[in-house]
Amino acid sequence: MTPKDILLKAAEIIQRDGWHQGSLFKVPEFTTVRRLSGRLAATHAAGRTAPVCAMGALCRATFGTAYADDIHVWPPALMDTYRDAVLALEREVSAPGNSVAHWNDQRERTAEDVILAFKRAAHASD
């Protein structure tokens, strides 16, 4: 897997699963105390299927989940490739002091903006 592979897969994930702002992925809502016991399992599952932000899409494209607690178990080489993909996207959306997460969460941002940025970053990483 290369940074380009990750970036293109992240674009596909947002097209397929949807785009989200404010957190890595859209966490299921639980409205009663009785249902809170299922929150961890549902949150874990949502990391694999729920709408994601740009960083969540990169995580899911690389590790199969956007659930951050699962990410620490991966080999260092895969982590390096993930970091390279993040850096490529940062270069694409760069502005002084502007992280990918901040860029994703800007009010005017759209899913189409994010998908296009992934594709541009992928082609620039050739």
Residue 94 has pLDDT above 90, yes or no: no
| Range(s) of the domain holding residue 62 | 3-124
Give the residue among 28, 90, 80, 79 at the shortest CA–CA distance from 54.
Answer: 90
Q: What is the mean pLDDT of residues 104-116?
A: 96
Number of domains in the chain: 1
Residue 86 has pLDDT above 90, yes or no: yes
Task: Identify the top-confidence range among 39-48, 61-70, 88-97.
Answer: 88-97
